[in-house]
Amino acid sequence: MKLKLILPVLSVLSLVSCKEAYNPVIDKRMSAIVVEGLITNLKESYEVKISMATSYDSVISNTYLIGASVSVKDDLGNNYTMHNEPFLRYYYSDTSEFIAVPGRSYTLHIEMPNGDIYESSAQKLLSPADIDSIHGITTAKNYWYNDQLGNITGKMVYGAETFMDISYHSDSIFQFRLDNTLIKCYSFMYMYTPEMKLADVPFPPPKNCAGAVCPYVVYNWKKFNLNTAVNLSTETHNLISRELRNSSVCFFPMDSAFCPIRYIADSCALDLAGNTQCGIIRQPAGPEGKILETRLYALNQESAIYYQELNEQLSYEGKLFDPIAVQLKGNIKCTSNPNKLALGLFEVSACTTKSYWLNFNYVEGYIKYIQLKDLSNLPLFGSGKYRPDFWLVYFN
């Protein structure tokens, strides 16, 4: 009996004693540029970012490169220049000069200041898919996020899970990816004080008032990226129906701490005796509203493989053998010197955009989606005295 107890203990101790650190040899002399580019069928400015990769153990952020000559060529021989300004960290297109057309193929061309030339493989712009319907439920789910120290943390939270039905027409669509933004709509009741007037605070009351303060409502919105840019659907190779049903869109917590809005600010001034006097000058004027802005990208096979590998690297389950980051070479090559390493992806994907006002039924556990006009070009935040046309009069 004693022997049976001793053997498991010795086995455990032998495993502990066989621990050996492995430090791989890394060639830090090798450098590589990283290219991030996206072209869609939408009438919007396209962006290309070029940076220098850093080693995995470096504490220095990627350095964005400027001064390159960047252009996009199509299969008809047209050449479109990407513009850059010194204070911008990316290259951009002008919508009056270039809008990509489904069915055509596009190639990214980069000439660096040192003479190096990089090109992507030709990418065909497919036809956009249709979002047939959208629905969702409220549920509890383990949610991974970055805490205040930047550490990946898991927490069981109550939130909204969204699904959609998709149909498509192109045989070349290999997969879809989704990029989602939550827009929080909220209103302030401002108390316009004399010191605010002296400080030229915007949105003064529309009419003079005889009182010490003049209350009025200001409508605000703020966008929060839900970090689902690599949320991939299942493969689309179902050429009979060409439909996807109940494809996962995103999950976001209801807890406002994940998308914080500051409601209260104080107005302070010195009175005649030199003492500081403070008063609340803004407070909530109504409950918050929520809008889901979703962008559905139709991927060709090359882009789909890249995002699948990226998704595998970013997947985190808190397990011992979670994947580690490796180089994603993508579709960029150095044509002037094939020995030079280039990373990243020039993506050409058809995009479908939709925006929905969200109404939550907490009792029955479902979400109602009211489609709005497309809000893709809405600024990241804004405010005004007049209620925006996308702002519904009823709240969650």
Q: What is the pLDDT of residues 307-320, one digit of tens each?
A: 888 777 655 444 44
Give the pLDDT score at 368: 94
What token pair was written down for 56? 């995995």
For the chain, 396 residues long, the average pLDDT of each consecutive 10-residue run is: 43 46 51 91 94 65 82 96 87 95 96 94 94 94 78 86 91 89 89 66 61 75 78 51 83 87 67 67 81 94 86 55 56 92 93 95 91 92 89 71
Phi, then psi, of 241 in degrees rounded to 5: -95, -30
Give the pLDDT score at 1: 46
**CA 372, CA 369: separation in Å to the nearest integer?**
9
Give the pLDDT score at 281: 65
Task: State the number of CA atoms in the 13 A half-sphere of 97 facing the CB.
Answer: 14
What token pair was written down for 384? 């005004």
What burial class does residue 344 get, using C-beta atoms within 10 Å of its C-beta: 0-12 exposed, 13-18 middle, 19+ buried? buried
DSSP 62: P
Please list, in sequence order, all residues whose beta carbon lies within 8 angstroms of the beta carbon of residue 317, skipping any fewer than 6 positions away: none
- Asked if 327 contacts 109 with a C-beta cutoff of 8 angstroms, the reply is no
**CA 309, CA 244: separation in Å to the nearest integer?**
22
Give the predicted TM-score (pTM) of the model.
Answer: 0.79
The radius of gyration of the chain's CA atoms, rounded to the nearest angstrom, is: 27
- The strand pair at 32-39 and 341-348 is best described as parallel
Cα end-to-end distance, the chain, whole Å? 66
Give the pLDDT score at 318: 46
